Amino acid sequence: MRKYLYIVILFYQNVLATSPISKLDIYIYPEYYYSGVMVELNGKVEESTLPLALEMVVPATTDSVFLVSGIANDESEVLPVTINHKESNSWVQLDLDKPSFRIFIFYVPFDTSFTRKFNYTVQATVPLNDFHIFIQEPLVAQDFTLVQESTVNKDQHGITFHQIHVAELPSMSAKTIPISYTNHTTQTTMVLLQQLLSERSQGKSEAAQSKQVVPQRHRLPLWEPFAVLGILSILVGIIFYNQKDYSSVSDGKKYCSECGNKTGIGNKYCASCGVKI
């Protein structure tokens, strides 16, 4: 009886244990900028627990793990972490001596097919309380499936993120996130995003050029209509003058239409040229 009571006490002590990790956000990026998965763990350690040594599980196909201790800046040192294979799992040991840390895990769980199906497991030798897991849905993904209940959000580029909240995870307990989708293009999110941004930029440039190129329209100066009317008046006057009827009567005289000399009103023939009037 005491044995079972001891086990129960240990169990509840483990569950109710305070985590030395005060904040933890885990970001999973499938096929973001390379044909694999990048996982970023961004956390803070309670200063009263420093220095902190812990172990955590990493995927069996992990290529490399890097630790950035302290606040991320240009002077931060990126340290490679040794991967230890124990039984069916792979583990890394982390020696944290600063309040802030970032861990990067790179692994390739895919084969040559279009189907993407993999898991990511969170498990550590210390309890983890009230942390979040963010899964980026690749832009190239089709039929994206996430069994775990999540909250969906989108960033400024339209990329979908699935957020999972974990209230508590006791020491050595495992939280596994299954993820599956298809990628028929074999492209990454970064490549497709660059193409989309390039197309948008090109479209804006063409639209701006079309607005700048304004067709030249002829505007008629105010003086042109009057000048045209004046020229027409002169032409009409000249034509009228050339077609003037010299046989018209003026001051009681009659003019010959042939030579233009005056002749009498009653004369039927011109006295000068003899033409019949």
- pLDDT recorded at residue 3: 47
Q: What is the pLDDT of residue 176?
A: 97
The owner of tokens 């034509």 is 239
pLDDT at 208: 59
Mean pLDDT, rounded, for 146-171: 94
Domain ranges of the chain: 19-199, 245-277
Structure confidence at residue 270 (pLDDT): 73
The mean-pLDDT minimum among 59-63, 95-99, 177-181, 196-200 falls in 196-200
What is the rounded average pLDDT of the residues 257-269?
Answer: 68
Rounded to whole angstroms, the Cα distance separating 234 from 211 reads: 46
pLDDT computed for residue 75 by the predictor: 67
Nearest Cα residue to 121 out of 80, 87, 91: 91
Instruction: Determine whether domain 19-199 maps to CATH 1.10.230.
Output: no
Q: Which residue has the tokens 């990454």?
A: 188
The mean-pLDDT minimum among 87-91, 119-123, 234-238 falls in 234-238
**What confidence score (pLDDT) does residue 156 get?**
86
pLDDT value for 85: 87
Tell me what pLDDT residue 35 has: 93
Task: Say whether pLDDT at 50 is over 70.
Answer: yes
Section 194-204 average pLDDT: 78
Strands 175-182 and 115-122: antiparallel
Taking a C-beta distance cutoff of 8 angstroms, is the pair 192, 139 a contact? Answer: yes
Average pLDDT value for residue range 214-228? 53
Return the pLDDT at 241: 56
Specify the pLDDT at position 203: 63
258, pLDDT greater than 60: yes
- Say how far apart CA 155 and CA 18 lie, in whole Å: 33
**Rounded CA separation 57/183 (Å):** 27
Is 80 exceeded by the pLDDT of residue 14?
Answer: no
Higher pLDDT, 54 or 156: 54
